[in-house]
Chains A and B, each alone.
Chain A
């Protein structure tokens, strides 16, 4: 069960979702600021929830499914807030906060709540490796949301039937740039995460686990997102096709995060 801070963060995410959604139909500077503030408050409360749980169980947050998924949502929130500040646009806040909320409620209902046994200490480099990888997944999740919004906006624009929300969501070009920014963050996080993982493993075992399915799928993720970045600036792919590719790429991330972790890898468990 989540601690009090966990419940508080859920409530704040729900409130920020309500404000962001209202903002789409009734634009208001103060409501926008309130939405951002509530999301920021939720992220702070979420941090303390993760910290509290880790201190209570003498383990790192990502050592079980619950903690790993909770950390994912937290990093998604941070990445989105960064993007909101960078691009000065709150229109996708409703979707991102909804994803976070649904994700966290799902985590509460579907994942086992038993506290994991304290793992052997693996050092800060290992912690950095895991955190950067989960952060990369969160950034890819954000690019997925942005690509879906892009495709919906593109469809509305072609159908010649713009509704109220259409005028409030960002322009296609802005969505495209936000999605690319997000993928850049994801690739940077993944690159540093993978390198730190290899360094940590080399120190521990003197070798590299190239054959581990998680490593192979991670390299595949790097490949498909690099392909997206390159193709999204070429004539035949620029625009909605690139958005479709970006959305489909996230399926590989989900595959890595779920099936690979659960059934294929030997030592990558929840990250």
Chain B
């Protein structure tokens, strides 16, 4: 088995064959949740598995990515044999699951396609909810932990840093992740179109529906200034308010409470119109005409429809928000080609870098091989010659310099990533011509 390395700045010690990224995994696209939960890794397990993969000599570098929708093992194979086969064996033994159960559920990628998959995952193109941002944070965390524990090396460092970069670019330069894809987030994003930054603004939650709770989560994530909860059952309101870090208000004080908030979220079940046009009109007057954004999530609707005509009141009900989510879904899908183009651009960048790395390693291979021959030759010939120690030393220096001079130009050319673009075949040809392969790797390059 080839020597492993974890140094972050130098080329891997592998010298024969190509440096490549390998990946196996399953996701919501290939496996049901019953299976995904059986091959999922906790944070500690992910680190342990990465360490184990390296310890067993399957991978030189390893990162395990495990989220609710996917479990993936990324690595740089330590040998030229089918790494994905060994990775699959490892996965089944680690989780004590039979190969039959995983039949047809796992995907296996090597080389540029593995990197492409990683970049698509980072970009949210492989996510259940197209363009969702959470995966980028999960990927960053998984990589960060692996880096901290020394299970990554130059190849995976480069691949994952590229993934984080392309993930950010896709979200910044395309609409793939730009528009809200849930009713709750759509409501908040629309409120932001009125108020800008929601930090310091006031919100009132009417009722305690599940979607309203999601809205509150989004509001809290935006550092909303104050949060008040009104419910027919005050105990329920108090419980919710405590959980959300807000303040419970009695149902009787609802009308008074209406004059304060900039955002009102209603989700009162089976209640009909809880807020009438007159109530909201009085609230607007009491707040000096400052705008109010009302999100009506109740079915039947909690806010009288004619309230929408009030000056400086913006009213969206659940159907309005649902329609916007549908529009956004179509808009996101239309952006896929642009996102894929960015992914391809970064995959090509990675391949150029990998080619240069390969090129760097082959110079080291040649140097090792030339030195080996030089030493054998000197040992053989010097015994037959009558030379003083100084003359032997001089001869040794000359032959060493000869090797360096011969390798100087190819070294410089090979280090130039631009020049080496698309010439990976040439490197393979050099390996073949000089007989640098896995066997030589073991004996030659480590000298």
| Contact status A29-B172, CB under 8 Å | yes
A50 to B397, CA, bound (A): 71
Which of A25, A158, A238 is within 8 Å of B314, CB to CB?
Answer: A158
| Contact status B289-A172, CB under 8 Å | no
Q: Chain B CB within 10 Å — which of A25, A164, A174 has the most?
A: A164
A174 to B175, CA, bound (A): 22
Which of A29, A158, A161, A173 is within 8 Å of B196, CB to CB?
Answer: A173
Q: A172-B291, A235-B288, A238-B290 are in contact. Are A157 and B324 (CB under 8 A)?
A: no
| Contact status A27-B289, CB under 8 Å | no
| Contact status A174-B172, CB under 8 Å | no
Q: A26-B338, A28-B172 are in contact. Are A239 and B312 (CB under 8 A)?
A: yes
| Contact status B178-A167, CB under 8 Å | yes
| Contact status A162-B172, CB under 8 Å | no
Residue of A nearest to B175 (CB): A164
Distance from A203 Cβ to chain B, minimum over Cβ atoms (Å):
47
Binds A, one of B59-67, B113-121, B187-195, B399-407: B187-195
| Contact status B173-A160, CB under 8 Å | no
CB of A153 closer than 8 Å to a CB of B: yes
A162 to B193, CA, bound (A): 10
CB of B320 closer than 8 Å to a CB of A: yes
Chain A contacts with B in 219-271, Cβ cutoff 8 A: 234-241
Interface size class of A (residues with CB under 8 A): 20 to 34
CB of B218 closer than 8 Å to a CB of A: no
Contacts of B193 in A (CB 8 A): 153, 157, 162, 166-167, 171-172
Which of B196, B290, B323 is within 8 Å of A170, CB to CB?
Answer: B196
CB of B81 closer than 8 Å to a CB of A: no
CB of B174 closer than 8 Å to a CB of A: yes
A158 to B179, CA, bound (A): 18
Chain B contacts with A in 175-233, Cβ cutoff 8 A: 175, 178-179, 189-190, 192-196
Contacts of B327 in A (CB 8 A): 161-162
A26 to B170, CA, bound (A): 10
| Contact status B312-A238, CB under 8 Å | yes
A235 to B316, CA, bound (A): 22
Contacts of A166 in B (CB 8 A): 193
Distance from B154 Cβ to chain A, minimum over Cβ atoms (Å):
28
Contacts of B323 in A (CB 8 A): 160
Distance from A236 Cβ to chain B, minimum over Cβ atoms (Å):
6
Contacts of A25 in B (CB 8 A): 175
A172 to B312, CA, bound (A): 11
Residue of A nearest to B284 (CB): A235
| Contact status A239-B311, CB under 8 Å | yes
| Contact status A171-B172, CB under 8 Å | no
Which residues of A pack against B, CB within 8 Å?
Answer: 25-29, 153, 157-158, 160-162, 164, 166-167, 170-174, 234-241
**Can you list 12 contacts pairing A with B, beta carbon distance less than 8 Å?**
A26-B174, A27-B178, A157-B190, A157-B314, A166-B193, A167-B178, A167-B179, A171-B195, A235-B289, A236-B311, A238-B290, A240-B311
